[in-house]
Amino acid sequence: MRWKPLLALLLLTVLSACATPPASRDVTITQTARGVEIRSSDIILFDSGKADIKPAGQVFLDRVVSILTHRTHQPVSIEGHTDNIGPPDLNRDLSELRALAVMKGLLDRGVPKARMRYVGYGMSRPIADNSTMEGRQLNRRTEIIILNERKENIGSVLDDLAGFFSGVVQFGKNLLN
């Protein structure tokens, strides 16, 4: 009889996975005119209002470093963004501290400082409507742009990166619901 609560929890987790929007927004890899953009939601890297990288963020950085050291040697731009909640100066400072934390994490793992630059844009470059909770979540992000690079030069390891973190974040969301 002890297995019934466990079975119920498992069933609830599976059903909530079906009802939850796709987590592919938590890590996305996109080819842009500037290069390959690895966009991470703040869910993976940071707690709300903080610039200290969370444990899942450490794993994320490990995987990004593998790409940066084994698949490409192009320069990297690290760009922090926030939603529009709070004072503009505070959001700009937070986004800059987060971008700097990501750069420091990459530097500590062996990516040369000369290859990287960071900037915090605060709330000045939204990608979604800040009037909705979903839009604000999308706007709270860090982008690692591998400048002048093509996705096809890096290969399927990019898809593996996005898929791994989408699954991890989705599983964590389901357990919290």
Residue 169 has pLDDT above 60, yes or no: no
Q: Is 45 helix (H, G, I), strand (E, B) or coil?
A: helix
Q: How far apart are CA 101 and CA 95, in angstroms?
A: 10
Q: Is the dihedral of CA 65, 104, 26, 10 positive or negative?
A: positive
Instruction: Say which CATH topology domain 23-172 has.
Output: 60s Ribosomal Protein L30; Chain: A; (3.30.1330)
Lowest mean pLDDT among 5-9, 50-54, 75-79, 84-88: 5-9
- The residues spanned by each domain of the chain are 23-172
Q: What is the pLDDT of residue 165?
A: 62
| DSSP 8-state symbol, 77 | E
Residue 47 has pLDDT above 80, yes or no: yes
Q: In this structure, which amino acid lies at residue 127?
A: I
What are the structure tokens assigned to 4, written together? 């019934």
Q: Whats the size of the chain, residue-wise?
A: 177
The residue ranking higher by pLDDT, 106 or 48, is 106
Q: Is 144 helix (H, G, I), strand (E, B) or coil?
A: strand
* Each residue's pLDDT tens digit, 86-117: 999 999 999 999 999 999 999 999 999 999 99
Q: What is the pLDDT of residue 158?
A: 78
* Bridge partners, residue 76, by sequence: 116, 146
Model confidence band, residue 2 (pLDDT cutoffs 50, 70, 90): low
* Each residue's pLDDT tens digit, 5-23: 444 444 334 333 333 333 3
